[in-house]
Every structure is written in C-alpha cells, then in structure tokens.
Amino acid sequence: MKTALLPTLMLTMAATAVSAKGLTTRITLRDATLQTSIDITDPSVLRAFNVWAGPGTFANGVEGTKGFIIDWPAGIARDRPHGLARYEVMFYVRYLDRSTEELVYVVLYEHEPASGRGFVYLPGRSDDYYGRNVRTILHGHNLEGHWFYATETWHNAVNPLLSLTKPSRD
C-alpha cells in the first residue's frame, strides 16, 4: 500500500510545484515594425508553450532539456538569414496568489517563409527584456544572447497567425 501511495504523492507534489509558479494566460505576438499584435489565449494552445521549461528549469532536481518554444537539442542557429520580419513574443502568467496577470518573459521570433523555419532569440545582457527574463528564468549555459530554431509545434501554432498582425491591403 505504501509503495503505491508514494508515486501518487510524488506526482501530486510535482504538479503543485509547477502550478505554484502560475499558469500562462496569454502569449502576445507583436510585429516589431508595425507595432500591431495578436493575443493567443486558448488554454489548449498555451499548455504547449510553458515558459518554465527547458535548460535552467528544474523538476524534481532534474534540469529541463525540452519545452518552451525552442528546439533545444538543435542548438544555436548559426545559419539564420538576416532581414526577416521580427516579432516580440510576450508571455503573461497569472500567479495563484495574485488576481492579475503579469508579463514574465519576452523573446524575439523571426520566420523564414521560403524554408518554413522559425528562429527564437533569447535576449542577452545588453538587450531589452534581459532583466525581466532572468528574474523569471536564467537559462544559463551561455544560452542568453543567441538565436535558436523554433520547435515545429510553435511554428505550426503561430505562423498562420502572423498575417493577422499585418494591416489589410484594400
């Protein structure tokens, strides 16, 4: 009986620890040039992009290697083309002990239509948003200040929405 109870207790404690950080309530994509934006608020979509995932995050003492919107195993994107449309991606969270949502993390996103690849930039020390980001997560391992490949899941979720941040042409 004690053996069966222990795994259940451990899972409950792990879920409580993650939820204590708060739930992602909104992701805003803002076109950095046009300053137009769109919000993602669908909980089923938001669950796939937990800001508390990947390197620099820990669950049960084990450092994360997957999650968020970055394809971590692919490493730093050294072949990112220049001149792509740029979007600020802002992650908002509602903490369980607060009634309002807060902006907790911001990255940059670029999409290359020709190849279909997406790129994510983690702001470095001299960039806007670095201070805000590292108060939430310091990924460490010299990851901040570099471009990475976006996950296919992120690409599939946001690329259809990007045209909605552009003004219509009549």
pLDDT-derived band of residue 166, with 50, 70 and 90 as boundaries?
low
User: Is there a contact between 59 and 18 (Cβ–Cβ < 8 Å)?
Assistant: yes
H helix count then E strand count, the chain: 4, 8
Q: What is the DSSP string of 144-166?
A: TTEEEEBPHHHHHHHHHHHGGGS
26-30 mean pLDDT: 96
The pLDDT tens digits of the residues spanning 105-127 come to 999 999 998 888 999 999 999 99
Tokens at residue 61, please?
């003492």
pLDDT above 80: residue 81: yes
What is the rounded average pLDDT for all residues in the chain? 84
The pLDDT tens digits of the residues spanning 46-62 come to 999 988 888 988 888 99
CA distance linking residue 59 with residue 52, whole number of Å = 10
pLDDT at 95: 85
pLDDT at 127: 96
All domains in the chain, ordered by first residue: 22-165 (2.60.40)
pLDDT at 167: 57
